[in-house]
Amino acid sequence: MSASTDSSLTAQEDQPQQIQLLASTDDDYDGVIVEINDLVMDSTTFLSILRPSISSWKQQGKKGVWIKLPIHLANLVETLIKEGFWYHHAEPKYLMLVHWIADSANTIPANATHRVGVGALVVNEKREVLVIQEKTGHFKGTGSWKFPTGVADQGEEIWETAVREVKEEAGVDSEFVEVLAFRQSHASFFEKSDLFFVCLLRPLSSDIKIQEVEIEAGKWMPFDEYAAQPFMEKYELLRQINDIYLAKINGHYSGFTPVSTKSNYSNQKNSYLYLNAGALKRSNSL
């Protein structure tokens, strides 16, 4: 979405009596975006501006209306809801509400549907796995040793998340090797779907310094010992990951490595395409 104009209000110039309207910018889909910044008013005054604004947008043939409401104007939420707006998504400093004002079918896209998580399989030259025990979460108090996991931050690449989580949870520096596999599940975190990327990393340091708030302990464990833990019998996913790693070190499996590329669908200058670089290289050499 494009940025809004500086002022939150404008005037209807072709009317004998000036009528205040909400300032807006057009999006790419015949809709408008309103960012209410420094505007402070009671709900009655806001309603007297909102209604003619909607009428004006309808006359212009606009379809969807996005209103970005800062947290200090939460008193205006009820007014917007009564006028047909609904919640689209929320962030720490604002709430986004939307309204479809056209007579055609609503095509406003849904809020983000997925959360992205990573699991970091860090293996050294001795074929020892970096493992931790958690103070919180599903494995709390079970005595199970697992590899570091975490959730990607906004704007963070998958490989960056893996390296960061290893450093945060265990204090170990590492470099990303490849994505071994990924899994999609549904109705997971607050009914959102979940993408989980299993990443292979190479350690650049060996000393472990755990993050004491969430991590109980950390150590290097021989892979065979790690894979033989009794709790593995309950988790088919973990057993499959172990099989993939064994196939990898035996030269029978290749995962996906990030290749920098440019995207026309993001404000970010560069993004990454994850692919089997070795197989592509062999194919191009034929």
0.85 surpassed by pTM: no
| 36 confidence band (pLDDT: 50, 70, 90) | confident
Segment 156-166 mean pLDDT = 97
What residue type is assigned to position 203 of the chain? Answer: P
pLDDT tier at 268, thresholds 50, 70, 90: low
pLDDT tens digit string along 116-152?
A: 999 999 999 999 999 999 998 888 889 999 999 999 9
Residue 14 has pLDDT above 80, yes or no: no
User: Alpha carbon 10 to chain centroid distance?
Assistant: 35
The stretch 190-204 carries a mean pLDDT of 94
CA distances to 107, 123, 129, 159, 194 from 152, rounded to whole Å, are 28, 21, 22, 9, 11
Say which residues have a Cβ less than 8 Å from residue 29's Cβ, sequence separation at least 6: 63, 64, 107
In this predicted model, which residue has the larger pLDDT, 272 or 277? 272
Which helix (H) or strand (E) is 244 found in, with range?
helix 236-249
| Cβ-contact 253, 247 below 8 angstroms | yes
What are the backbone dihedrals phi and psi of residue 78, each rounded to the nearest 5 degrees, phi first? -60, -40
**Which tokens in the block code for residue 93?**
């400093």
* 168 catalytic per annotation: yes
Looking at residue 7, what is its pLDDT? 47
**First-to-last CA distance in the chain?**
44
Beta strands in the chain (DSSP E): 9-11, 20-22, 25-26, 32-35, 64-70, 86-91, 94-100, 114-122, 128-134, 149-151, 174-189, 192-203, 215-222, 257-261, 271-275
Q: Which of 83, 128, 165, 168 is catalytic?
A: 168
